[in-house]
Structure 1
Amino acid sequence: MDLRKYDIYVIEDAFVEYFYGREQMFFQLFKECDESETGIKEILIQQVDYITKSIPTIYIYSHIVQELGKRTDFFIKERSFLLENKRGTAELFIGRKKLSLQSSGYLDTEFIFMDCLKQLDFNFFALDLKNGRFGWLKPLKHQKIAK
């Protein structure tokens, strides 16, 4: 089965509402950053760095362990978390500025990690650059502002 790869970023609050509904622009920026050669790549890296937050590593680590730690198919590795069962495999890596999720088999193994992350109060934006898929893990909730 094919290996699926997702990069998951926490987007700065100031950009979330403006770009909600315009996610294609985010995707294009990340794609160009990934594919660009030297020169413009440095500028694109700075732009990505500007719109993304650092990953709250300890908080996410603790949350995942608390939520998934009792599962018999969940394993903590040196630099990642692993879900491995007869339906598939998913491995989540926590980096400084992004989470990386690799999975194979049925989609439900990767959804376990994504559902776990959705519980947190962060603006997670996931990208599958290879297949052109992207979106928010948790859709923005529009609040009516009283005037």
Structure 2
Amino acid sequence: MGMRSYQIYWIGEEFAHYFYGREHSFFQLFFESTIKGKEEKSVIERQIQHITQEFSLSAVASALKKALGGKSGFSSESESLYKVELPKEKGKAVLLTKKHCLYLKASGSYEAETIFFHALKKLNACLFAVDFQQKNYGWLAPIKKEILFK
């Protein structure tokens, strides 16, 4: 198993509910931002800015420290770089936090990134992860569709 890479976006709540069940549209948009030419890219990036919200790096830091602070194998290099290393070199994950996006790289057991996913979903319900290599995507915490008609 090679390296797995994820980008995690915070989708604005109204968009999260509006696109519920059509998450492929988000994936398409984020994917296109990685491959299109310059002019299209700026349009796509504006769309992404419109549907996403910025992370507060200090809020991310405190959520991670609260969830993982005492756990062995968890360390933080700086306010924006975090590591989880599983015992017996079973796997590891590194999280880099930026305002627009969180970048997660993992190798070995899937448990490594799962630890980060569980910690991050306590931060917000509208976090959307994309793995461009595997064409995989989804909410960190499944969003409950609100019942509009009772």
Kindly provide the CA deviation profile for residues 38-79 of structure 1, in whole angstroms up to 9, marking residues without a partner as x.
Answer: 111110111111100001211111010111111121111123
Aligned to 1:90: 93
2:41 maps to a residue whose letter is: K
The percent identity for this pair of structures is 34
Give the counterpart of 1:109 among 107, 112, 116: 112
User: Residues 22, 58 of structure 1: CA spacing in aligned structure 2 closer, same or farther, 3 A cutoff?
Assistant: same
Aligned to 2:50: 50
Q: TM-score, normalization: structure 1?
A: 0.94
Name the Cα RMSD after superposition: 1.3
Q: Is the 8 A contact 2:63 2:122 kept in 1?
A: no
User: Shift of the alpha carbon at 1:8?
Assistant: 0.2
Question: 4+ residue runs of structure 1 moved beyond 6 angstroms?
Answer: none
Equivalent residues, number: 147
Q: Is the 8 A contact 2:32 2:44 kept in 1?
A: yes
Once the two structures are superposed, the pairs formed by residues 64-143 of structure 1 within 5 Å of their partners are 64-78=64-78, 79-85=80-86, 86-143=89-146
User: Shift of the alpha carbon at 1:37?
Assistant: 1.5
- Partner Cα distance (2:81, 2:64) in 1: 11
Q: TM-score, normalization: structure 2?
A: 0.92
User: Shift of the alpha carbon at 1:18?
Assistant: 1.3
- Partner Cα distance (1:28, 1:143) in 2: 25
- Partner Cα distance (1:119, 1:62) in 2: 11
- Partner Cα distance (2:38, 2:3) in 1: 28
1:139 maps to a residue whose letter is: P
- Partner Cα distance (1:23, 1:145) in 2: 20
Aligned to 1:28: 28
User: Shift of the alpha carbon at 1:120?
Assistant: 2.4
In structure 2, stretches of 5+ residues that fail to align are none
- Partner Cα distance (2:67, 2:29) in 1: 33
User: Shift of the alpha carbon at 1:145?
Assistant: 4.2
In structure 1, stretches of 5+ residues that fail to align are none
